Structure 1
Amino acid sequence: MPVAGLVIAVLTASVVGLWPDGAEAAVATPVASVSAPAPEPSRALTPFEQVSSQVDAQKLALLKGDEAGWLAPIDKKLQPRYRTIFKNLRALDLTSADMGIDGELTEKGATLTGKVGLTYCFSGVACPAYRLDPTGGAPKIIHKITWTSRGGSWVITRMADSGVSNYLQPAPWENTALTVAAGERVIVAGPKSQAANVKRVLPLAEKAAAVADRYAAQLNNPRAKYRIYLADNKMWKSWYAGAAPPWSVAYHLQLNNTGSDIVVKASKVMPEGNRYITEVIQHELGHSVTLDGNHNRDAEKDQWLTEGVAEYIGYQPGKPQNGYSGDALRFVRSRGRAVKTIAVPSLTEKSDDLAVTRLYATGHFAVACMAEKYGEPKMLNFVQMVLHSGVERDAASQAVYGKPFAAVDKACVSWIKQKL
């Protein structure tokens, strides 16, 4: 595939018996009567305490599937948006969530304004504790919320952008009512415009997941469940701030260290037929099993390997020389860019189509070469060390293959020429 993917506060309320002023509580003991300490005077909850308690109640309602409780503090005009969030999250197999007020509240007249965060995890994934930083811990969305005092209660009357830089927003489920189809291993979702495609993709994605699961087992990196979003052209530009570069037709996005989402551009993928759809999805699931939960903060340095192993998994059980990658490298060679190293430089926003094609196809051949020459288990071990653990490729090559990477590189360049 030329552009198949991208790596790219619970305020606890306790009931206490308070004695009337001046009264004493007699406590029977074996030796004496003891006076109870004077009770603390009761006080009204502060506005912060009131809305904090409200936020906690909403979180519990969300987790219990209590839509009425979730909507209880929401103004009628805002309820459709909150209902969308509730229904989407429940349909997407939400299993853990937390909510909190991030920072101070601003009080102006009868209104309060502050940032509220919602952390979430799906399908039983271990969910870290709530954190202020959206780039660590559980995935998180943040909104600027306005409460208005009405009849002694605080009603949520506005939800706006928080102004906080967060690569996980807008999430596909926070603004758009989704059509969701769930299988044994995959959940597929999309806006109303993609309802028919959601049903079409689910069985194809289940088939692709069976392949990805085999590699996840070999890499000791099992995935709880895969989520695939089908984006129409508008959503493609909006979801996750339009995270994809111009050459991609789908991408895999890690949700911190709690799994990932896959987003597919429906207009580019769906017309191409079931085989291509399956390959694109299988490629992105390949990213999930090789990248999710990694400790490497510089995986883009070895993009040829990142995309190469995803292409290798995505094209299974086919061979690169028998498909698109073979045709692609022959075309690249005819344009004066013959393969001289398997470690092709990573792409940039300025990379042309030929550079994109060369990286994906060369990476595919490179991974296939290492699998054939040294065995698939060793190839996957090399991939895991470099991409998952951040080991330099030469050190990983010495450890896995028993020879420097330069020797592996030279052998695979020769192998590729033979296959072409």
Structure 2
Amino acid sequence: MTEAPRSRRWPLWVFLGVLAALLSCGVPAVVIVTFRDSGPGAAANASPIPIHSPKPGDPEQVSQLWLRERIAEVLTQQAGALLRGDERGFLAVAEPKSAALGALRRQFRSLRALKVRAWQVRITDIPERVGARWRVAVTYQHCFVDPGCITGPVSIETTWVERAGVPRMVALAPSPSAQDGPRPWEASDLVVAVGRRAVVATTAKQKGRLAEVLREAERAAEVADRYAVDGTPPRHYQIFYAGEAEWGRWYGGDRPEWTAGYAVPVGGGHFDVVLNGKDLHSSVLDDLLRHEMTHAASLPSGGYRTGDNWWLVEGVADLAAAGGRPVSRYESLGDVRRLVSGGWKGPLSAAEPGERATDWQVSAAYGVGYLAVRHLVDRFGEQTMLDFFKAVVHERKSPDEASTAVFGESWQSLQDDCVSYVRSAAS
């Protein structure tokens, strides 16, 4: 395997959406099915339409409401089968020889390998007729590994046919409105290794690195936990190691060329960490895991759109990635020097690299964040720096307000000091 470039190429990609209300899961066998009428022609104050088997002359909505109940019934049975480990029962929902059958088989095995603990069905719309078929989005509140875990949602578009009053699934796909799919367990056959604090999943082609990634993830968890500013580090870290095909597909792919990993919020306060296996040499694996797992530990449960505070979010993650090494051994120092030589004088709020940034520019941008955060730690201590991080990132205070409250200095003065430090450290 070719050694990865030394440039820093680890951005955080946080998606919008996946912020539906969270449901607490009980024991694994509990399944919740909820409905909300939202079909065309459903007036707000209209009397509810009785749900019964459709008869000739009935309006279309009778068929829609009746079919929704039947779909809910079979999905409830399917959920119970999943939590029991009954593959045959899980697949019984699918039409024989349909595309859904293979997709559900893959889904079942991957979900079981990931130690699914809750699988709760929620249907918020009524089915839409598409020719001889019916289509409806189903939300699954789910979580893994930990008994009593908090669930997060995933929306899956399902397509059905009716056979003698029984709906059979013929296809399924990530909902077109979802911005975070497909999830790895939707798209791939996964092999999984479970540790005390981390779960690592990949495909059979990359199975040879599974033990190594899990070992490094277990070590990285000890570092990342320190940056859980709300006092509650993840009970486990979920990590997906992507080959080239998976990298281009999981969570929609389409990331800048320089991306080596990202952390994405998936609801319930959970983050999935995804690593780009291309050219990921063992010598940088530990740094990358500390970086991305620190995002999972430090960020608010719904993620965070960085913008002007990109330097702070990435600087904290790179502080963790550096593993306590001195500034003189920071790998991107040469690229920061190149940036400073070109006349860079701040501000920190403009540090985030663009999608077309070159490798050295990305590396330098991360270096600016790291050096600024490192300077705050050197001046005020790590805990005080994390108090500032919490105020800005979690409590959404402006840097001006947070700086005065936490550091006792105006942000303009302190930022000028950080910029001066970045310039001097790179000289």
Determine if the TM-score, normalized by the shorter chain, exceeds 0.5.
yes
* Corresponding residue of 1:51: 71
Distance 1:242 1:110, change over 3 A: closer
In 1, Cα distance between the equivalents of 2:370 and 2:133?
57
Q: Aligned pair 1:187/2:195, yes or no?
A: no
Aligned to 1:166: 178
Who is 1:116 aligned against?
Answer: 138
Q: Which of 361, 380, 392 does residue 386 from structure 2 map onto?
A: 380
In 1, distance between residues paired with 2:291 and 2:222? 13
Compared CA separation, residues 297 and 232, structure 1 to 2 (3 A): closer
Over 3 Å counting, the alpha-carbon distance change for 1:89 and 1:155 in structure 2 is same
In structure 1, give the amino acid aligned to 2:150: C
Letter in 1 for 2:167: W
Q: 1:238-296 CA deviation, whole Å, 9 max, x = no partner?
A: 11111532221111111135211111110131xx22x31000111001111111415x7
C-alpha deviation, 1:97, in angstroms: 2.1
**Identity %, equivalent residues:** 28
Partner residue in 2 for 1:155: 168
Is 2:364 the counterpart of 1:358? yes
- Residue 160 of structure 1, CA deviation: 4.2
Cα deviation for residue 331 of structure 1 reads 2.8
Distance 1:389 1:245 in 2: 29
Q: Does 1:260 align with 2:271?
A: yes
Q: How does 1:80-91 map to 2 (within 5 A)?
A: 80-91=102-113
Moved more, 406-415 or 307-316: 406-415
Residue 298 and residue 234 in structure 1: after superposition, are their counterparts in 2 closer, same or farther (change >3 A)? closer
Deviation, 1:90, is 2.0
1:179-203 deviations in Å (ceiling 9; x for gaps)? 1111111111111111111222110
Match of residue 319, structure 1, among 326, 329, 333: 326
Superposed displacement of residue 359, structure 1? 1.5
Between the aligned partners of 2:174 and 2:398, the Cα distance in structure 1 is 40
Instruction: Compare CA radii of gyration and give the structure with the larger one.
Output: 1
Match of 2:59 in 1: none
CA contact (8 A) 2:335 2:360 kept: no
The CA distance in 2 between the partners of 1:313 and 1:253, in whole Å, is 18
In the other structure, the counterpart of 1:66 is: 86
Residues 116 and 215 from structure 1, CA distance in 2 versus in 1: closer, same or farther, beyond 3 angstroms?
closer
Instruction: Count the aligned residue pairs.
Output: 374
Contact kept in structure 2, 1:176 and 1:191, CA below 8 Å:
yes
> Quick check: 2:33–2:120 contact (8 Å CA) kept in 1?
no
Q: What is the CA–CA distance in structure 2 between the aligned matches of 1:397 and 1:342, rounded to whole Å?
A: 14
Partner in structure 2 of residue 200 of structure 1: 212
TM-score (norm: length of structure 1) = 0.81
The equivalent of 1:223 in structure 2 is 234
What residue in structure 2 maps to residue 367 of structure 1?
A: 373
* Alignment equivalent of 2:284, drawn from 261, 276, 282: 276
Any stretches of 5+ residues in structure 2 without a counterpart?
1-5, 14-31, 35-50, 55-65
Distance 2:401 2:33 in 1: 49
Aligned to 2:60: none
Corresponding position: 1:75 with 2:95: yes
Give 3-state SS (helix, strand or coil) of 1:268's partner: coil
Contact persistence 1:114–1:145 (CA under 8 A): yes
Sort the Cα spacing of 1:373 and 1:189 in 2 relative to 1 into closer, same or farther, 3 A: same
Range with bigger deviation, 277-286 or 322-331: 322-331
Is the Cα contact below 8 Å between 1:186 and 1:202 reproduced in 2?
A: yes
In 2, distance between residues paired with 1:61 and 1:278? Answer: 38
User: How far 1:361 moved relative to its partner?
Assistant: 0.3
> In structure 2, do the counterparts of structure 1 residues 257 and 321 end up closer, same or farther at CA, with 3 Å as the change threshold?
farther
CA distance in 2, matches of 1:372, 1:126: 38
Residue 305 of structure 1 aligns with an amino acid whose one-letter code is L
Gaps of 5+ in 1: 12-41, 129-137
Q: Find the residue that maps to 1:255 and give its secondary structure.
A: strand
Q: Is the 8 A contact 2:256 2:356 kept in 1?
A: no
Aligned to 2:295: 287
Q: How does 1:300-339 map to 2 (within 5 A)?
A: 300-334=307-341, 336-339=342-345
Taking structure 2 as the reference length, the TM-score comes to 0.80
Deviation at 1:392, TM superposition (A): 0.6
Using a 3 Å threshold, how does the CA distance of structure 1 residues 204 and 109 change in structure 2: closer, same or farther? closer
How much does 1:219 deviate? Answer: 4.4
Q: What corresponds to 1:24 in structure 2?
A: none
- Secondary structure in 2 matching 1:85: helix
Q: Point out which structure has higher relative CO (alpha carbons under 8 A, 6+ apart).
A: 2
State the Cα deviation string for residues 208-237 of structure 1 (Å, max 9, x = none): 111112332x54131111011111111111
Deviations 1:347-368 (A, max 9, x none): 3324344432221001000111
User: Relative to 1, partners in 2 of residues 1:157 and 1:298: Cα closer, same or farther, differing over 3 Å?
Assistant: closer
Structure 1 residue 104 corresponds to structure 2 residue 131: no
Contact 1:339 1:362 in 2 (8 A): no
Aligned partners of 2:422 and 2:130: how far apart in 1? 69
